[in-house]
Chain A
Amino acid sequence: MSGLFDRLGQELQAREKASGLSMADVLTLPDDLRRLFNWMMRQEEVSLAEVAAHLGQDEPSAQDTLARLIEQCFVREMPAGRYRVRLAPKRGGQLPVNIWQALDEKTEKEEGGR
C-alpha cells in the first residue's frame, strides 16, 4: 500500500515540477501580462496591495487576477500573503539514449581513472 502512495506522491511531485512559466513564454505574453511578470520577477515577492497598485486595480480585482494566474500555475502563493512567479524547470536535452550512455561510460571511465 505504501508503494502505491509513494508512486502517487512521485507522480504529483513530477506534475508539480512540470508546471510553471518558461522565460520564453514570458516573451510571447500580451503586453500587460508580460509587464506584470517582468515586475514581479524583479521584486522577487510581492503582496496583494503591491499587485493592485502595479495594475491600477482595486484589491478584489487584483486578487481575481492572481487567482487565475495561480490556477494556471504561473504564480505561486507564498506564506504571509506574498506572491511570486512560478518558473517552469529547464527540460533536459532530447539526445538519443545511446549517446547519453556512451557519454556516461566515457565519463565514468575518466572519473574512475582519477
Chain B
Amino acid sequence: MDKIVSVHSFRGGTGKSNVTANLATVIAGAGKRVGVIDTDIQSPGIHVLFGIDEENMDKSLNDYLWGKCAIEQAAYDVSRVLKTAAGEMPSGTIYLIPASLRAGEIARVLREGYDVNLLNDGFRELVRKLQLDYLFIDTHPGLNEETLLSITISDVLLIIMRPDRQDYQGTAVTVEVARKLEVPELRLVVNKALASFDFKALKERIEGTYGVPVAGILAESEEMIALGSSGIFCLKHPSHPLSQTLRSIAEQVMAA
C-alpha cells in the first residue's frame, strides 16, 4: 500500500530538504519506488541534492499547475544517485518533481496563485502513474495552503525541529494543526543538535512536551556542513552515525 509522507518544519533552515532527500534515498535503496515533490514553490531547493539544475530541468511542478503538462511529465528519474560507492545499483527507483527555479515563474506563482485542487490531484496522480510506494512532500516552512493540504492528505508527517526556543514554539503550533487535521502518524525529528547534548534526556523532554514520538535526533555534523548539499549524505558517508539515525528514521516511516 502506498504512503504519502510530508516533511515539514515551522521555521526555515532546519535541514528539512536534506532529511527528506536522505529518507527518500534510503527507502528507494531498500527496493521501493519513491517520489519526492518540491512544493516549496517560493524557494525551491531539494533538486540540488539530486543533481538537477535549471539547465537540465525542462518541466516542473509550475508547468503542471499552469496546465502545460501532466504531473508525471515533470517527474525526473534520479535513481542514478542510488549508485553505491562500490558501483552497485539497488533495485529501487527515485523520482523528483522539482519546482521551477526561474525567477519569472516563481514570481508568476506568487502573483497569480494556482488551483489547489490541481495540486491535490497531482499528488494522487503521481502515486498512480509512477506506481509509487512512497511519495515524499517537501514543504515550504511555516503554515500555508500547500502545507496544510499536504499535512491533511499525509499518512505520515515528520516535523523537523532544531533544539532552539523559536523552533520549540513553532513546533507546538504545527503539532496542534496536525492534530486538528488528524494525521494518522506524527513523528518529530530533531536536527542540528550539538553532539555534547544528552540525546536520551532531550528525546524524553521533547516527547513529554509534545506528546509525540521523536523518530530520531540528528547531531550537527562537520561532514554534513562540508557536503554543502552537493550530494546525499547517507550515500556519501554510509557508516557515519548520522546515516545510521537516518536509516532508523526511514525504517520507522516504512513501519508506520
| A residues neighboring B (CB under 8 Å) | 17, 20, 22-24, 26-27, 34-35, 38-39, 41-42, 44, 86-93, 95, 100, 103-104, 106-108, 110-111
Contacts and interface: CB of A to CB of B under 8 A. Distances in A.
A92 B152 contact: no
A23 B111 contact: no
A68 B102 CA distance: 43
Interface string B143-154: 001101100110
B180 interface: yes
A26 B148 contact: yes
Contacts of B177: 27
Interface of B: 102-104, 107, 110-117, 120, 124, 145-146, 148-149, 152-153, 177, 180-182
A38 B182 contact: yes
A27 B113 contact: no
B107 A100 contact: yes
Contacts of B181: 26-27, 38
Given A87-B116, A90-B116, A111 B102 contact: yes
A92 B153 contact: no
Given A104-B104, A110-B103, A89 B148 contact: no
A114 B240 CA distance: 42
Given A23-B152, A26-B152, A90 B113 contact: yes
Contacts of B182: 35, 38-39
B104 A108 contact: yes
Contacts of A42: 152-153
B153 A23 contact: no
Given A38-B181, A38-B182, A107-B107, A23 B115 contact: no
Nearest to A86: B117
Contacts of B124: 44
A23 B102 contact: no
Nearest to B150: A23
